[in-house]
Amino acid sequence: MAGLAYLRPEWLPGVRGQEMPPSFPLYFFFAALQIGQWRARQVRLRNLVALVPDRVTEVTRPTGLVDGWFVAAVAGTFLGGAALALSMFVAGARTYAWSWLGLLALGAICTGVVLCSTLREPVIAEDDGSLAADELLRRQAIATTIPAIYSVPAAFDLVGEGRPPHAFTGPILGYVALCLALQTGVAIAQRHRKLPPGHYGTTDSGTGETTPDTSDNVWRPADGG
C-alpha cells in the first residue's frame, strides 16, 4: 500500500506527483536487494543448522558486533536525512519532505530487521576457532547491509522535475558525501578484521583444500571467551 502512494500520488488529496522524490523507485530497489540478501543468508543458515545440528551451541552470542562506524553510518543516513526532511517541511516543501521521510523510514525498517536478525542468529561452533569465525561472519553480514545506500537517491533528485528547493542543494550533497564516507569507514574497519591465531582445520597436502577437524571431543568455549 505504501508503494501505491508513490506510484499513484494523484490518489492522495492535495498531492501533485511532481512534488514527490522522483528517485523513489531506487529506495524500493535497494530495500528489495537488502531483504533478498538477508533472506538468502537465512536459507543458508537453516540448511547449515539442519546439516550439523550438533554444532548449534548454547554459547552466549558474541557482543559488541555493532561498531562505532556502523552506528555512525546508520545515524547519519536516517537521522541526518530525517533532519533534512523536517527542515524542508518547515521551509514549505511539505510533499517532498514527508514522502522522502517515508522512504527513509522504509530503509531504516529494512536495515533494522536485517541487523536484529543477524544478532539473534544461533551460534554454530565446535571449537574456539569456529566461534571466532562465527563472530567474524556476523560482523561481515552487518557491514554488508550498507545503510548509507539509502542516502544516494537524494543526489539524483537534484536534477530534473520534482527536485527539492535549491537552498537545500548544498546540504543534500553534504549529507550524501558524509553518509558514503561513514560507510567507507565501515568497509575499511571490516577489511582489517582478521581471525585470531588458532586452528581452523587441516590442509590436505594433495589437494590444498581445508578439511574440518573430525575430533569426537565435545567442545566447550574457553574461559572468558
DSSP string, 144-179: TT-GGGGGTHHHHTTSSTTPPPGGGHHHHHHHHHHH
Q: Which residues contact residue 178 at a Cβ distance below 8 angstroms, ignoring those fewer than 6 apart? A: 76, 80
Q: What is the pLDDT of residues 18-34, one digit of tens each?
A: 567 888 899 999 999 99
Q: Kindly tell me the number of DSSP H helices and DSSP E strands found in the chain.
A: 8, 2
Residue 154: pLDDT over 80: yes
Span 197-204, average pLDDT: 55
Residue 69: pLDDT over 50: yes
Q: Find out whether 142 and 66 touch, Cβ atoms under 8 Å.
A: yes
Span 168-173, average pLDDT: 94
Span 64-90, average pLDDT: 93
Per-residue model confidence (pLDDT) at position 196: 64
Of 195, 197, 164, residue with least CA distance to 23: 164
Of 77, 186, 83, 62, residue with least CA distance to 132: 62
Question: In the predicted model, what is the mean pLDDT of the chain?
Answer: 79
pTM, rounded to two decimals = 0.75
Residue 127: pLDDT over 90: no
Which cell numbers in the block locate residue 189?
574497519
Instruction: List beta partners, residue 56.
Output: 124
Most confident of the following: 58-72, 106-120, 148-162: 106-120
Which cell numbers in the block locate residue 85?
526532511
Residue 60's pLDDT band (cuts 50, 70, 90): low
Lowest mean pLDDT segment, chosen from 38-52, 64-78, 96-110, 136-150? 38-52
